[in-house]
Amino acid sequence: MLASHLVAPGQLELIDVPEPELPTSPPADCAGQIIFQPETTCLCGSDLPYFNGTDEWEIEIGHSLHEMIGTVTATNGNRWKAGDRVLAVPVMQQGLQERFLLDESRTISIATNIPEEHALMAQPLGTALFALKKLPNLLDKTVAVVGQGPMGQLMNAALNNMGARQIIGIDLLESRLEVSPRMGATATICNRNSDPVTAVREILKGELPDIVIEAVGHSDQQINLCIELCRQAGQILVFGVPPETIDNFRVRDLVFKNITVHSSINPDFNRDFPLAMQWLSEGRIDVGPIITHRFPLAEIQQAFELFRDRREGAIKVIVDFPAKQLA
């Protein structure tokens, strides 16, 4: 079967690897395991450090993919049976394989009343909901979302559902800002062309937001901009996964503004992903506007390049595995 092998930064090859083997019984610390076969998958910003080459985490076979819907082909547990279709999140993002062994606890059932690529968005949306639960009541709050990529757009939509008064999307790319109002933003700012602090004050009649969400992360993180944008005694949610260290971090400004900082990682499979799937099934959020491109697995290199370079208005890029193409 095929799996990814990152032979150099930005250079991915599909190689042949052995099929995974399912133990007769699961290990003592696991209720059950499955062999999972991906079908509909999606690229995420957290896959890019692996693709680009990272010195933070070891790059291994199967890097990097972790948003996926597919089929259980075998199990030694009781939660699923062969043929069941589930949303799965592989360990350490090693999901760029045609089949792999997975703890059944890292799976949830999928909604069947919406397009499958929409149900797939329960994975990233679940991470957003988990993060937003850490904030106070969002009703009537003003919020700036720095970064209008896939996660920033899902943050817009969730904030809109949770009653935020104003949601200001901020990004360097006009193409992404064109989508933001369709995902719940009430205003947008291109900080390539405008000073974002001045522009935010104009929108909020001289004020700064109650809450600022950093949804960029990695080497492009914008924590200092978030500190500038946040009002006195406001709150920042650091959602984008940051690098290990941040040079020139303006911690004194953070302290002198009495800002509260929230962080978020690793949502709950029993609550957050199912809640996101419920929201999508109920039609609370239309994720259609952010699904922009689709590729077969054979063109995974082109898919990653387009996603990395943010070309052609790319936001969410779907990758179909052979199992999907044969279905």
**What does the pLDDT average to over 93-116?**
97
Residue 80 clears pLDDT 90, i.e. is over it: yes
The predicted structure's pLDDT at residue 158 = 98
Strand partners, 316: 291
Residue 240 clears pLDDT 80, i.e. is over it: yes
DSSP secondary structure letters along 41-93: EE--GGGHHHHH--SSS---TT-SB-EEEEEEEEESSSS--TT-EEEE--GGG
139-149 confidence digits (pLDDT tens): 999 999 999 99
Residue 326 clears pLDDT 70, i.e. is over it: no
Residue 88 clears pLDDT 60, i.e. is over it: yes
**What does the pLDDT average to over 171-189?**
98
For residue 159, what pLDDT band results from cuts at 50, 70 and 90? very high
Residue 327 clears pLDDT 60, i.e. is over it: no
- How far, in Å, are 45, 121, 192, 263 from residue 280 at the CA level? 21, 8, 33, 25
User: pTM here?
Assistant: 0.95
**What does the pLDDT average to over 5-33?**
95
The overall average pLDDT reported for the chain is 96
Quickly count helices (H) and strands (E) in the chain: 11, 15
Higher pLDDT, 197 or 246: 197
**What does the pLDDT average to over 181-195?**
97
Q: What value, to the nearest 5°, has the Cα angle with vertex 189 and ends 184 and 191?
A: 140
262-291 confidence digits (pLDDT tens): 999 899 999 999 999 999 999 999 999 999
The predicted structure's pLDDT at residue 325 = 65
The predicted structure's pLDDT at residue 219 = 79
Higher pLDDT, 29 or 71: 71
Residue 171 clears pLDDT 80, i.e. is over it: yes
